[in-house]
Amino acid sequence: MIKFLGSIPKESLVGKKVLLRVDFNVPIKQRQETRDKRQLKIASDFKAKAQKETINYLLENGAKILLVSHHDHLESFLPIVEEVGTILGQIISLVSHAEFSSMDLLFQTSPILFLDNIRQDPREEKNDEGLALSLSKGFDFFVNDAFAVSHRNHALVTSITKFLPSYAGFLVKKETENLNLAIEAPAKGKVLVLGGAKISTKLPVIQNFLDKAEKILIGGALANDFWQAQGLQMGASLVDDAVFPQLRNGVSKLVLPTDILISKGWTLEKMKEVVVQGSTALANVKVEPCQSEMRNLKADEAIVDIGPQSAKDFAEIIQQAKMVIWNGPFGLSELGKFARGTSIIAKAVSDVPRSIIGGGDTITVAAKLNLLDKFGYVSTGGGAMLEFLAGNRLPGLEALGYYE
């Protein structure tokens, strides 16, 4: 059975060393005043702030903490470690992997240390027990507060639990409670809203919610697959050929857009580039959209947003709901002129008291609209949230005994 951090007597934390898995895989950007890579800054502090409760609790009760995280786009946390400390309200010292053997000495200088990007060690993603064992030495407890990586079977997510008494942090507790609520709440009045480009990860969620939601609203690149499965040509729009067999049979609960915005001058390669890089990849693309009902698209045409009528219809369905779960934007929302549909959806969801949202792009949209504090719960998980909602077992939770 899973054990949560709060079950450790506070007096038992005094002077103890805690290996704390956190998620500081935060979005980053260049500072405006320089293009120097050493001058990066955090684009959104949401994930980092979400770790504060567990960190503060441990420090206030006399524990010493080594923070462990990965980052997908930074080799080292050095460019942003000072900013992470500011967000957490702590002075944090970054520890290189070569300095790990001197941990006891380093803890004499500060009760909170930060091991540099754990993925500098290739054994992490291989779930190497040797790495987990070596990092466990000298520590008294392991706490996983990184729900967003709990769907990964990595050394400092799963194997580490074999070598230390292990607990879930306060953030993991909130995530599991709220996402369980999303699954277990009555289907009547529950609306699932799915968009975005990571198509194959959302299909299992749709399948799990066919009897758990009253309606499932489909937008973004996910809708493109349904249309292509119906025989329509998608032009340069994003699609996922691998999922076609699962989409052949229509389901009455699924609601697709009735009108769309189409933009010309695209190639599929350029569309993929824009999804990754945003507006910087828009050279030689005619981005002026035109409104249209769904139809066969020409080779250089791409769907960039849902149309105004669909946005209105979806918003009305959402506003009548008792509970809404939302993951994924409904177009190229990173580009302002294609963000209207997603913005309307976001505002409608924020008006529903029992709302749960998640996913990096979804959170980015909500933050730009200053809506993050308007939702019932905002999950730090993207892939982990979807895996949980699909009813799949998350390795990080399983290692903590969550499913026992």
Backbone angles phi, psi at 69, to 5 degrees: -150, 170
117 is in an annotated binding site: no
359 is in an annotated binding site: yes
Q: Of 108, 43, 49, which Cα lies nearest the Cα of 80?
A: 43
Q: How far apart are CA 54 and CA 193, in angstroms?
A: 30
Burial class (CB in 10 A: 0-12, 13-18, 19+), 164: buried
24 is in an annotated binding site: yes
23 is in an annotated binding site: yes
Helix axes 340-350, 308-319, angle to 10 degrees: 10
Tell me the two tokens of residue 270: 């350029």
21 is in an annotated binding site: no
Q: Any alpha helices (H) in 74-233, and if so which ranges? A: 81-88, 103-107, 129-136, 170-184, 203-209, 220-229
Tell me the two tokens of residue 351: 């008006």
25 is in an annotated binding site: yes
202 is in an annotated binding site: yes
180 is in an annotated binding site: no
- Say if CB 226 and CB 254 are below 8 A apart: yes
Residue 193's SS3 state is: strand
Q: Of 73, 82, 78, which Cα lies nearest the Cα of 97?
A: 78
Q: Of 193, 198, 203, 190, which Cα lies nearest the Cα of 229?
A: 203
Binding residues are 23-25, 119, 152, 202, 334, 359-362
Binding residues for substrate are 23-25, 119, 152
Binding residues for ATP are 202, 334, 359-362
